[in-house]
Structure 1
Amino acid sequence: MVWMTGGYLLELPEAKAWAQRKYPDMEFGVDVLIPNFINRYFRAHRMFPACIAVDWHGQNKAYFMTHGKVDPYATKKKHRHFREDARAQGVRKMLFVDFEDEFEFLKNIQFVTVADPYNNGLPA
Structure 2
Amino acid sequence: MVYIAGGYIMSYEHAEAWAQKKFPDFTFGSPSSLAETIRKRLNKDLFKIPWTLAVRYQNQDTILFVTSQHRNKRLSPYTRKKFAEDDRVKLIKHSLFGGMEGELEFLKDLKFVTIPDPYTTGL
Report if TM-score (shorter chain) is over 0.5.
yes
Q: Is the 8 A contact 2:4 2:69 kept in 1?
A: yes
Q: What is the aligned-residue identity percentage?
A: 32
Instruction: Give the gaps of 5 or more residues in structure 1.
Output: none
Q: Is the 8 A contact 2:79 2:116 kept in 1?
A: no
Moved more, 19-28 or 6-15: 19-28
Q: Is the 8 A contact 1:4 1:69 kept in 2?
A: yes
- Asked if residue 109 in structure 1 is aligned to residue 87 in structure 2, the reply is no
- Shift in Å at residue 61 of structure 1? 0.4
Instruction: Give the secondary structure class of the aligned counterpart of 1:99.
Output: coil
Question: How far apart, in 1, do the equivalents of 2:13 and 2:92 lie?
Answer: 20
Moved more, 43-52 or 92-101: 43-52
- Shift in Å at residue 71 of structure 1? 2.9
Counterpart amino acid of residue 112 in structure 1: V
Q: Deviations over 1:77-99 (max 9, x none)?
A: 22211011111101110011210
Moved more, 103-112 or 36-45: 36-45
- Shift in Å at residue 100 of structure 1? 0.7
Question: How far apart, in 2, do the equivalents of 1:80 and 1:30 lie?
Answer: 33
Question: How far apart, in 1, do the equivalents of 2:60 and 2:44 lie?
Answer: 27
Instruction: Give the secondary structure class of the aligned counterpart of 2:69.
Output: strand
TM-score (ref. length: structure 2): 0.89
Moved more, 71-80 or 105-114: 71-80
Counterpart amino acid of residue 38 in structure 1: I
Question: How far apart, in 2, do the equivalents of 1:46 and 1:97 lie?
Answer: 17
Instruction: Give the secondary structure class of the aligned counterpart of 2:109.
Output: coil
Equivalent residue, structure 1, for 2:21: 21
TM-score (ref. length: structure 1): 0.88
Aligned-residue CA RMSD in angstroms? 1.6
Instruction: Give the gaps of 5 or more residues in structure 2.
Output: none
Runs of 4+ aligned structure 1 residues displaced above 6 Å come to none
Counterpart amino acid of residue 70 in structure 1: R
Counterpart amino acid of residue 18 in structure 2: W
Q: Deviations over 1:30-64 (max 9, x none)?
A: 23322121112123333222211111122210100
Question: How far apart, in 1, do the equivalents of 2:117 and 2:44 lie?
Answer: 24
Equivalent residue, structure 1, for 2:120: 119
Equivalent residue, structure 2, for 1:4: 4
Instruction: Give the secondary structure class of the aligned counterpart of 2:41.
Output: helix
